[in-house]
Chains A and B, each alone.
Chain A
Amino acid sequence: MILVNTESVPGHRIVETKGLVQGNTIRAKHVGRDIAAGFKNLIGGELSGYTELLTESRRQAIERMMAQAQQLGANAVVNVRFTTSSVTQGAAELYAYGTAVVLEQGE
């Protein structure tokens, strides 16, 4: 499946628009990561535990979005957008959405 965040896929023609597809996931970070982050805050540097958490969650949101697109019979999602929100203390929502389309090779 092709994913792009442009309005169309260059080199391809959109023959059918299937509609909005979306995927979300809410993940909590565990206390161990918070403690590690507290230590990192003394000397500075990347909080790799959090980077990993966000990357993983985003991937899951994308996968759910792609599963929806597949169910609709689409072979691509265009104009993909991401948002994040903090739902409650220590939990993050990652949300991916886009427009599922059917593509055809050639302009």
Chain B
Amino acid sequence: MDALGAIAGIVVPLALVALGYTIGRVREGSHIKSLEQREASFADIVVTDLKTVPDADNVAVAQLVMGEAVIATDYFKSFAAQLRNLVGGEVLSLETLARRARREAVVRMLDQARQMGATEVHNVRLETSNVLSAGGRSKAISAEMFAYGTAIIRG
């Protein structure tokens, strides 16, 4: 029975790592592809983090826009991150996660700007929160990103 337990203890995590690796990679790839597409469609919107709007006399509407994204990593990557934690160094598997979540938040903010017909977004701020990871109950490794800025319609 002990041998069976030991096998289950090794086989199950390995299967989960394999599952995370295969499905997680596909899902990440399709997310990045969709990000690239949407970013390209918003390429005409001017985005800055300037505190004051340039050429302020020539503004018709100014309104706050924001975007939020909470994205979890897969089992393989959290496993890799745990291994990395032993030896220290750069955690590449989580870097891509943070980058994806941030891009998604910005794209959602730009989507709001586009819907109101804005051509520029100024004073963009990016923020992270750790509501989930500090929650304790859920062990999911995730990135929570929030982007906000002031959308401008010229007129």
A15 at the interface (CB under 8 A from B): no
User: A2 CA to B152 CA in the complex, in Å?
Assistant: 12
Determine whether B136 belongs to the interface, using a CB cutoff of 8 Å to chain A: yes
Number of B interface residues at 8 Å Cβ cutoff, please give it.
54
Give Cα distance in the complex from A51 to B146, angstroms.
Answer: 10
Interface string of B102-146 (1 = CB under 8 A from A): 001000000000000000001101010111101111111110101
Whether A41 contacts B140 by the Cβ 8 Å rule is yes
Bound-state CA distance A42–B25 (Å) is 11
Q: Is the CB of B57 within 8 A of A41?
A: no
What are the interface flags for A5-28 relative to B under an 8 Å C-beta threshold, 1 for contact and 0 otherwise? 111111110000000000000000
**A10-B56, A54-B129 as given contacts; A47 in contact with B70, CB under 8 Å:** yes
Stretch at the interface among B3-11, B36-44, B72-80, B84-92: B72-80
Q: A40-B140, A41-B140, A43-B19 are in contact. Are A54 and B72 (CB under 8 A)?
A: no
Once the chains bind, are B74 and A44 in contact (CB under 8 Å)? yes
Residues in A whose Cβ lies below 8 Å from that of B82:
none
Q: Does B23 contact A (CB under 8 A)?
A: yes
Contact B74 A43 (CB under 8 A): yes
Per the bound structure, the CA–CA distance linking A72 and B19 in Å amounts to 56
Give B140's nearest chain A residue, CB to CB.
A41
| B20 A82 Cβ-Cβ under 8 A | no
Q: Does A37 contact B (CB under 8 A)?
A: yes
Contact present for B72 and A41 (CB under 8 Å)? yes
Contact among A43, A80, A90 for B24, CB-based, below 8 A: A43
Residues from chain B with a CB closer than 8 A to the CB of A9 are 62
5 other A-B residue contacts (CB within 8 Å) besides A2-B63, A41-B75:
A4-B64, A11-B57, A45-B74, A47-B71, A89-B136
B interface residues, Cβ below 8 angstroms from A: 16, 19-20, 23-24, 27-28, 31, 51-53, 56-60, 62-64, 66, 68-75, 77-78, 104, 122-123, 125, 127, 129-132, 134-142, 144, 146, 148-150, 152
